[in-house]
Chains A and B, each alone.
Chain A
Amino acid sequence: MILDDELRRLFNDDRLDVPVQPGATDAVLAGARRVRRRRTAAAVGGAMAVAVVIVGGVAFGAGRPESMVPATETTAPMTTTSQVAPSTTTAPTVDSTTAKATTGTAPTKSTGTSVVRQTGTKTAPPPAARVLGPDGLGALKLGMTYEQAMATGALVQDDPPVEGCGGYNLRSHPKENGFSVGITPELGVAAIFLTPQVRTPEGIRLGSPVEDFFTAYPAAEAQRDSYREHYQIVIPVPGNDRAIYHLVGTADGKVGSLALALRDHGCFG
């Protein structure tokens, strides 16, 4: 695809670089302290982050010194959230190198950083487990080796991960995106994602209001402000101190994605 290549080329371009202003780190640290003070002080309401400048008066255009960027004080309006967005599903598995900065390669389906395998096998599926947590999904448990996991029959048969986190399909949910379970060579089954047929022991499903998550998991309450800003909550799993629930909310306040994962799973951000 020519357009694909063009896009990769563009995103690899040095012209995307933005010079960092000396003192940028200090500005962010000061800003973070301000935000924290405001959080501590403010009763309710969106904190308006007053941003100090981190980008210097430097030309962005390579070789175009005339395009100076004026140092501006900006008000960053990103706190209140009440938007509309579709909800539900998703079960990705990313290997731990996802956070790389730039790259010339960009896998769209099944190459590169995310090891995704989809092997269509036509075996009668075992009864699908319906509850995710605290230690797994039915017979499929966190920490199982690849062999043990495959032996449960819950997964579509596939090769073991060679490096990083391999993405696998649940037989009960083979089509949606094929990333429902992450297995690493070190940890074994490291992450299992909520699929449409499944709920947590406390009744949370994809598409549940995130408010229900707060109710079901009191540990989440401490992250309410953080959730409002970042749409993510990570809590210890009740009854399994080796594991976490990592929730990603939709913009309209529903559970968009929820993973049961070992701490330090390395399967997604």
Chain B
Amino acid sequence: MEDFAEFVRTAMPGLLRYGHALTGNPHDGADLVQTVLEKTGARWSSVARRTGDPLAYVRRAMANAHVSRWRRIRRENLVADIPETPAARERYAFEDEPLWDALRALPARQRAVVVLRFYEGLSEAEIAHTLGVTAGTVKSQASKAMTTLRGRLAAFAEGRAM
């Protein structure tokens, strides 16, 4: 377990950053980091022994957990017509950053694809392996995401409300 503690200490700043990028929100990102790390820690010896690269394992788990959580929340909300508002929109560092806002508004999977590509620098195939989808899906999701982002940025530039 000492080994795991060291891993957590070392990996935490990077993972929190990554979680922030992945979820678009530092609170959700921290939740994600914590939950995934706790589950990882509960089987640390197995994870460390089997995977060879626990950090990559954790990051992949975070990406998947995030996408799944989003789907679950969406499904649970189907009975009520609640507009999708970013929860707890406290002012923070990225407020008024058009690209950040546009990213936050993307569906979780598309966002994950964008983050894995531009934050992690993964290729399409690596992203596909990370998310457990086909390379074709990654391609189409990335394309959709980029189109949406461009459109929102253009709209913003023209002074139209996003």
Contact status B38-A28, CB under 8 Å: yes
> Measured between alpha carbons, how far is A263 from B146 in the docked complex, in Å?
37
Q: Nearest Cβ distance between residue A164 and chain B, in whole angstroms?
A: 13
Q: Specify which of B37, B64, B103 is in contact with A28 (CB 8 Å cutoff).
A: B37
From B92, B94, B134, residue with most partner A Cβ within 10 Å: B134
Q: Which residues of A contact B99 (CB under 8 A)?
A: 6-7, 10
The answer to whether B118 and A11 have CB atoms under 8 Å apart is: yes
Report whether B4 and A32 are in contact in the complex, using a CB–CB cutoff of 8 Å.
Answer: yes
Known: A11-B115, A18-B17, A99-B56. A86 touches B133 (CB 8 A): yes
Q: Are A248 and B132 in contact (CB under 8 A)?
A: yes
Query: What's the minimum C-beta distance from A62 to chain B, rounded to whole angstroms?
Result: 6
Bound CA span A60–B94, Å:
9
Q: Are B20 and A231 in contact (CB-based, < 8 A)?
A: no
Shortest distance from the beta carbon of A235 to any chain B beta carbon, whole Å: 8
Query: Shortest distance in angstroms between B15's beta carbon and chain A's nearest beta carbon?
Result: 8
Residue contact A232 to B100, C-beta cutoff 8 Å: no
Evaluate whether A66 and B4 lie within 8 angstroms (CB atoms) in the complex, with A55-B30, A234-B51 already known. Answer: no
Q: Check if A161 is an interface residue, CB within 8 A of chain B.
A: no
Is the contact region of chain B dominated by helix, strand, or loop, or is it mixed? helix
> B17, B46, B56: which contacts A16 (Cβ < 8 A)?
B17
Judge if A69 is at the interface, Cβ distance under 8 Å. Answer: yes
Residue A133 at the chain B interface, CB threshold 8 Å: no
Q: Are A106 and B35 in contact (CB under 8 A)?
A: no
Inter-chain contact B118/A92, CB cutoff 8 Å:
no
Binary interface encoding of chain A residues 37-64 relative to chain B, with 1 for a CB under 8 A from any of its CBs, else 0: 0010000000001011111000111101
Are A106 and B117 CB-contacts (below 8 A) given A114-B122, A248-B132, A269-B56? Answer: yes
How big is chain B's contact interface, by range? 35 or more
Contacts of B150 on A, CB cut-off 8 Å?
A: 3
Do the beta carbons of A179 and B123 come within 8 Å of each other?
yes
User: Which secondary structure dominates where chain A touches chain B?
Assistant: loop
B160 on interface, CB distance cutoff 8 Å: no
Which chain B residues in 123-156 approach chain A with CB under 8 Å?
123-137, 146, 149-150, 153
| Chain B residues, CB < 8 A from A249 | 132
Q: Tell me which residues across on chain B come within 8 A of A100, comparing CB atoms.
A: 120-121
**Contact: A35 with B39, CB < 8 Å?**
yes
Interface pair B153/A3, CB less than 8 Å apart: yes
Q: Is A139 an interface residue (CB 8 A)?
A: no
Is A211 in contact with chain B by the CB < 8 A criterion?
Answer: no
**Do the beta carbons of B5 and A29 come within 8 Å of each other?**
yes
- If A83-B68, A251-B68 touch, whether A90 touches B34 (CB-CB below 8 Å) is no
Shortest distance in angstroms between A255's beta carbon and chain B's nearest beta carbon? 9
Task: Note all chain B residues with C-beta closer than 8 A to A24.
Answer: 8, 12
What's the minimum C-beta distance from A234 to chain B, rounded to whole angstroms?
Answer: 4
Known contacts A31-B41, A78-B69; can you find 12 more A-B pairs with CB under 8 A?
A20-B12, A25-B9, A25-B12, A51-B38, A67-B93, A69-B26, A84-B71, A105-B121, A109-B124, A114-B126, A232-B57, A232-B60
12 chain-A/chain-B pairs, Cβ below 8 angstroms: A25-B9, A33-B42, A77-B73, A78-B36, A90-B125, A99-B53, A114-B126, A177-B135, A230-B65, A246-B51, A256-B131, A269-B59
